[in-house]
Structure 1
Amino acid sequence: MKKTALLNAAISHLIATMGHGDTVVIGDVGLPVPAGVPMIDLAVARGVPDFMTVLQTVLSELQVEFHIVAEEMQTVSPALATQVAALGLAQPRRLSHEDFKRECARAKACIRTGECTPYANIILGSGVVF
């Protein structure tokens, strides 16, 4: 049995197959997943699992070089924006929510949480460990 925090087989496989610059989206329950982008659906009920738990668990295994959030997160969900900023992720970028959704089409996969906080979405860009 795995010893690390991440137990979901699909997410473990996704991270193991990511290359430098590949992206993965972690999104709230309402974020549309573009056609052709695989979705790993974790949503069980409203708020389960929550965005921050999924994000922190993914970060325990994924080397992140950059991340992208919607500009609207800062004004509409400032508590969440503060939590994300506190993680100290490298190279933050902000896009309008519409541009964010367009950027999701380039992702290797989207992970859907049960989060119901507006703009609880992030794109993580894979880095290298060497």
Structure 2
Amino acid sequence: MIRTGILNPAVLSLLARVRHTNTVVVADRGFPLWPQIETVDLSLVDDVPTVRQVLDAILPQYVIGRIFAEEEFRQVNSPSVVEALRDHTGAIPLVFEPHVEFKRRVPHAIGLIRTGDSTPYANLILESA
């Protein structure tokens, strides 16, 4: 039995299949369904869990080379929300790109983890190192 770290078997299975430069999407509650990629839906109620909570769970167990975020995240959220994301990502390069470019990356991901996050444009694409 797993005693620490990620307990969700579907998330563990998804992360175990990620290889060098593969990606995983961690998305907010409104992110559209992508039938061609595996989706693990963790959403329960508004903001449970959040994208940052899922990121915090993943970071100790996953080697991330880059994180992609949507440029619109910086435009519609307060500077404190944007800074909190930067604090969470630490030394990992955080690349902001237009929403349209971000969505072009999604079909190439190994999978998608959907959260209950209500923060606008909170979606992230984690690229393994």
Report the TM-score, using the length of structure 1 for normalisation. Answer: 0.90
Unaligned runs of 5+ in 2: none
Following superposition, the deviation at residue 82 of structure 1 comes to: 1.2
Give 3-state SS (helix, strand or coil) of 1:123's partner: strand
Distance 2:95 2:47 in 1: 26
Amino acid at match of 1:60: P
Contact 1:33/1:110 (8 A) holds in 2 = no
Q: Tell me the amino acid that sits aligned with residue 93 of structure 2.
A: Q
* Other-structure match for 2:36: 36
Identical positions, percent = 33
Q: Which residue of 1 is the match for residue 16 of structure 2?
A: 16
Matches within 5 A, 1:37-116: 37-78=37-78, 79-87=80-88, 88-116=90-118
Q: Which structure 1 segments of 5+ residues have no match?
A: none
Name the CA distance, whole Å, in 1 between partners of 2:48 and 2:70.
22
Structure 1 stretches of 4+ moved >4 Å: none
Which AA in structure 2 matches 1:120? A
Q: Compute the RMSD of aligned alpha carbons.
A: 1.3
- The change in CA–CA distance for 1:89 and 1:107 in structure 2 (over 3 A counts) is farther
Match of 1:124 in 2: 126
What TM-score do you get using the length of structure 2 for normalisation?
0.91
Aligned length: 127
Give the conservation status (yes or no) of the 8 Å contact 1:80–1:120.
no
Instruction: Give 1:91 deviation, angstroms.
Output: 2.4
Is the alpha carbon distance of 1:19 and 1:28 closer, same or farther for their aligned partners in structure 2, counting shifts above 3 Å? same
